[in-house]
Amino acid sequence: MCGRFNLTAPEQQICEHFQLQCLPRYQASFNIPPGQKILNVVKLDDNRFKAVYLLWGLIPSWSKDARISQKLINARSETLQEKPSFRSAFKKRRCLIPATGYYEWLQQTTGKQAFHICRRDKELFAFAGLWEYWEQDAGTVYSCTIITRAAAANLQAIHARMPVILPPSSYEAWLNKSTTPGQLEQIMHSNTYEAWHFTPVSDWVNNPLHDDHHCLS
């Protein structure tokens, strides 16, 4: 799964990486938990990429209770076309979620050990995501979820699941509404994980209110 991540890249680097004009109210974060608005990249009808902030925890359009978002922070890649919560979004509303790393916890005899997982070069990357809208009397809530898959061999020692991470060469196809389900499956299970490593970090990161460089030490 993916229940916590960070985005610490400079604003200019994010804009260049995702071909964005600007990032509204961007602020780097070392410890991003579910239940708050996070940076997403979506594709407009004129083919431009746009930065938007969506609630992390998807609320299906048919839901009667927004609290369902707490259970839908992740979506399994294997069942996206079957689950009512994700089926429509997988067809029409895919997004990129920028990140510089994510956290996972390994259960040990002495308790849980947190690990920070990132690229070896510590460069920016993108999770594959879905977005949705939920209409209510007070207005429309836009939300998102991070797609997960079985962990790559070099990361299985930490957890059986991991987020789907897309190479930049797949960004356009992932956001393109005309990309076929078969092509999307290939993108989600592409071999992009050899250049990743994990580092144990202190339990400082366990508290979602802690948001500073100590989360990485």
Confidence of residue 195 (pLDDT cuts 50, 70, 90): confident
d(CA 129, CA 171): 11
List Cβ neighbours of 54 (8 Å cut-off, separation of 6 or more): 37, 38, 40, 95, 131, 142, 143, 144
Query: What is the model's pTM?
Result: 0.97
Confidence of residue 17 (pLDDT cuts 50, 70, 90): very high
pLDDT digits (tens, 9 = 90+) for 96-153: 999 999 999 999 998 999 999 999 999 999 999 999 999 988 889 999 999 999 998 8
pLDDT digits (tens, 9 = 90+) for 151-177: 988 889 999 999 999 999 999 999 999
Q: Is 123 a catalytic residue?
A: no
> Three-state SS for 91?
helix
Give the pLDDT mean for 21-30: 92
> CATH classification of 5-216, choosing from 2.60.40.1180, 3.60.150.10, 3.90.1680.10, 3.40.50.80?
3.90.1680.10
Q: Which of 2, 95, 144, 215 is catalytic?
A: 2
On whether the CB atoms of residues 113 and 200 are closer than 8 A, the answer is: yes
**Max CA pair span of the chain:** 54
d(CA 88, CA 98): 22
Domain spans of the chain, in order of start: 5-216
List Cβ neighbours of 32 (8 Å cut-off, separation of 6 or more): 4, 5, 6, 7, 38, 56
Q: Which of 104, 118, 144, 215 is catalytic?
A: 104
Q: Is 82 a catalytic residue?
A: no
> Three-state SS for 47?
coil
